Structure 1
């Protein structure tokens, strides 16, 4: 096979995937291996880093077997991985704990509550770029320090999942600044570890891995790793990035004014800005090209549809059937509103928020109820867009959609009209893998910049333009939704006090 190849590795929560990508950004072959998520008790979630490595070895061998002369033609390896999974290794690079708490592990809730009691967001946001939340590795390290003191004492370095894979490939220890910026421990001004945040959490600065640029060459495949994986010894390995920043890049979201919406169980809206947007309800992640992705999360995105399927149809109807019913109702659902906080809110003062229908009249039927869910989720995301636009120098001008929600045409039309900006759908759904390929293509100087490499690698299969008639209906409804959102907050604590 002519032409250089990138080996892209994505260490996800459910599986490890390895792929060979050609110089035009086409995925030639991809292989996956699932791994177990361990739940020792309610609210905990962890995995074995050793399982990630076994998956990497198996998937690399599989893709190498499927593409002739691949081993010789790989000019760089780039990995991305699930963020916040906190791996401890000793000074020889060996694990000091067999398991690592993951991004969705909630064992740190007490530490977060204690921190919030002592510190208001405005006192630390400039040092951390983020409000306090149980996901951050900073709080996971506090828990490990207090609950597994032997492992914490023996740990020489704290790594994220893709960093552990890079260590196994190269023998080198480092973390990139996208994972570092989402740790609650990195100063967004210096892009180095924050002495202030490390001190506030009572952690050991010496245990934090060196922070490096995602595009730097971390090291080269060692003889031992080459024997295990079948790779060529000496193949360059990039520092790499967190999976979400890699996916932003791989969907073409790498300039201020461009946003991303990932609609899965939850809905994450991200706006690229040249600085973190400091606000108590907004999180920030460093992007590969050096900007920041300010994001807000709606707990019930696609999960609102899952609820409707269970609550209204006892799972007997398919999602496409429910969407078809929703399409029977007019835009605006005849002034029926759905407030979609089925699982509360992730951040802010009202984490005990609840969902509701408002405005039900005798003329409303099931079609209205279903369409109101699609519209309600869109109104809630638009509320987040308004927050981000309000603190950003560059308002969102277009959004790239991915996840399961990007496959529902009616929902995309509703969202484009509610947001009143175009929505693009990438041709390649494996945005993390493409992001790794873009990093490798830039690092090996095939392109002068990440943005140029992204333009060459990313294309779109659809562009959904706002429907002017729908937008005219939705604009005053958005104002009413915001009013309903604010007025409902006064009732949540009263609701919690009612006997069950």
Structure 2
């Protein structure tokens, strides 16, 4: 008898990806369909939910043709998707608005500023789990209520991207608690919608979809969805989760003491905790297994290297060349520091932070400058780790790295040495797909918990240990970095006044 399969669906910002995964967690086949991002004006970013569904249909049909008898072997469907994309549907389950503002849409800035002016973080953090930010769906709903009242009037339910796909698959309307926890509208103590936050934002609770846990069975593939996709009618579909918490699970980050660093354009460090870590510079997202992922974001992670390539070389050399040059300099760059705040800071009182080199001497050259960029990003992320450790009381014991930066060996060794803990790299880079499969394995009874499923499915290609000699150099430099960070803040407003 042929082995049963899980069908996973990931609704990303750039494409929809569908995959078949076997019951041992091995990804057998992937199919993707791209969709465009619409930018009606500067700072806005939206997509058509109809495009997501069309991509899902095409990707699944392509996938089913790649694996023998896949249609008859799929035992469950699990979805994840880009978070915060705010989809409005009417009382018949049709779109009340053709487009949905995405996670990176900044049209809500005025609403966020108005909220921040009226409310200090300490007065609402316990009710929202998060400081105010333009990404949160709560503020997107304020904008839609005020700027598109006709669509708001027709709205019967608010969904996130993967919830819209689930609605098309099953006819059921729901939102999961990983998305709810990052909406600015869910009470982290109860896992239900917060009447207080809904009241502060002037929204309508009746329009918010019911909240459920990601691993529950939401419903089953309808006859119409089966006709369109080729998936067998009646196949169970999970509630699913946001792409970030599902990828945390799929990289083995699902217990306190384990952290995740996504090393992309930005650098996002996440620590798993039993409760949200409440602080004006910390964001929190519910995790699949019922914990919380407290995270801090450095705007310029990989982007700092991109800047160095442009500023020093006018893009005429490769990133590999820059890293090779950086490797010529000693650890600590003979006490040259780089503050990596090229795009300011996401949260807190100093969002107008600037980047700088500090300590330049006549003996410093290009190799020092390049290595200082890599080390400066590491010091900035270590600063975030220390904040998270200080609030949680449970220091990180290891970090799981993903994203493009995780492939840069020198940077990984620098980071492990600055953090003082091992960094592991998953063998399977498709962490979201593995996370979906782990959810499906738990939902169908193959494993008793999602943590057990993740433990079985996730293996690591390498473990990067701190270099003891480098760690000795970096420890006092970290303390100096903190001092430089603090003292620089008094200059940012002065610099803004100069600029104006």
- TM interval, shorter chain, is over 0.9
Once residues 43 and 198 of structure 1 are traced to their aligned partners in structure 2, the CA distance between those partners, rounded to angstroms, is 25
2:29 corresponds to 1:29: yes
**1:88-117 Cα distance to aligned partner (Å, 9 max, x none):** 000110001000000000000000000000
**What residue number does 2:185 align with?**
185
**What residue number does 1:335 align with?**
335
**What residue number does 2:151 align with?**
151
**What residue number does 2:490 align with?**
490
Once residues 286 and 324 of structure 2 are traced to their aligned partners in structure 1, the CA distance between those partners, rounded to angstroms, is 39
Once residues 86 and 451 of structure 2 are traced to their aligned partners in structure 1, the CA distance between those partners, rounded to angstroms, is 30
2:58 corresponds to 1:61: no
**1:282-327 Cα distance to aligned partner (Å, 9 max, x none):** 0000000000000000000000000000000000100000000000
What secondary structure is seen at the aligned counterpart in 2 of 1:357? strand
Once residues 448 and 164 of structure 2 are traced to their aligned partners in structure 1, the CA distance between those partners, rounded to angstroms, is 29
Unaligned runs of 5+ in 1: none
**What residue number does 2:315 align with?**
315
Once residues 406 and 10 of structure 2 are traced to their aligned partners in structure 1, the CA distance between those partners, rounded to angstroms, is 21
1:182 deviates by 0.4
1:3 deviates by 1.0
Give the TM-score normalised by the residue count of structure 1.
1.00
**1:188-216 Cα distance to aligned partner (Å, 9 max, x none):** 00000000000000000000000001011
Once residues 267 and 278 of structure 1 are traced to their aligned partners in structure 2, the CA distance between those partners, rounded to angstroms, is 20
1:229 deviates by 0.3
**1:137-173 Cα distance to aligned partner (Å, 9 max, x none):** 0000000000000100110000000000000000000
2:499 corresponds to 1:473: no
Between 449-458 and 203-212, the greater mean CA deviation after superposition: 449-458
Q: What does 1:22-421 align with in structure 2 at a 5 Å threshold?
A: 22-421=22-421
Once residues 121 and 2 of structure 1 are traced to their aligned partners in structure 2, the CA distance between those partners, rounded to angstroms, is 55
What secondary structure is seen at the aligned counterpart in 2 of 1:350? coil
Once residues 459 and 499 of structure 2 are traced to their aligned partners in structure 1, the CA distance between those partners, rounded to angstroms, is 54
**1:261-297 Cα distance to aligned partner (Å, 9 max, x none):** 0010000000000000000000000000000000000
Once residues 467 and 84 of structure 1 are traced to their aligned partners in structure 2, the CA distance between those partners, rounded to angstroms, is 39
Once residues 326 and 24 of structure 1 are traced to their aligned partners in structure 2, the CA distance between those partners, rounded to angstroms, is 41
1:393 deviates by 2.8
Once residues 160 and 120 of structure 2 are traced to their aligned partners in structure 1, the CA distance between those partners, rounded to angstroms, is 28
What secondary structure is seen at the aligned counterpart in 1 of 2:261? strand
What secondary structure is seen at the aligned counterpart in 2 of 1:80? strand
Once residues 51 and 296 of structure 2 are traced to their aligned partners in structure 1, the CA distance between those partners, rounded to angstroms, is 31
**What residue number does 2:4 align with?**
4
What secondary structure is seen at the aligned counterpart in 1 of 2:330? coil
Once residues 2 and 219 of structure 1 are traced to their aligned partners in structure 2, the CA distance between those partners, rounded to angstroms, is 25
Regions of 4+ moved over 2 Å: none
Once residues 299 and 499 of structure 1 are traced to their aligned partners in structure 2, the CA distance between those partners, rounded to angstroms, is 22
Once residues 419 and 393 of structure 2 are traced to their aligned partners in structure 1, the CA distance between those partners, rounded to angstroms, is 18
**1:452-495 Cα distance to aligned partner (Å, 9 max, x none):** 10110000000001111000000000000000000000000000
In the alignment of these two chains, the number of paired residues is 500
Give the TM-score normalised by the residue count of structure 2.
1.00
What secondary structure is seen at the aligned counterpart in 1 of 2:203? coil
- RMSD between aligned residues: 0.6
Once residues 290 and 394 of structure 1 are traced to their aligned partners in structure 2, the CA distance between those partners, rounded to angstroms, is 17
Once residues 335 and 395 of structure 1 are traced to their aligned partners in structure 2, the CA distance between those partners, rounded to angstroms, is 27
**What residue number does 2:18 align with?**
18
Once residues 448 and 114 of structure 2 are traced to their aligned partners in structure 1, the CA distance between those partners, rounded to angstroms, is 47
1:451 deviates by 1.1
Once residues 2 and 388 of structure 1 are traced to their aligned partners in structure 2, the CA distance between those partners, rounded to angstroms, is 46
What secondary structure is seen at the aligned counterpart in 2 of 1:225? helix
1:499 deviates by 3.8
Once residues 393 and 438 of structure 1 are traced to their aligned partners in structure 2, the CA distance between those partners, rounded to angstroms, is 29
**1:420-440 Cα distance to aligned partner (Å, 9 max, x none):** 000000000000000000000
Once residues 73 and 246 of structure 2 are traced to their aligned partners in structure 1, the CA distance between those partners, rounded to angstroms, is 23
Once residues 168 and 187 of structure 2 are traced to their aligned partners in structure 1, the CA distance between those partners, rounded to angstroms, is 28
What secondary structure is seen at the aligned counterpart in 1 of 2:360? coil
**What residue number does 1:448 align with?**
448
Once residues 338 and 404 of structure 2 are traced to their aligned partners in structure 1, the CA distance between those partners, rounded to angstroms, is 20
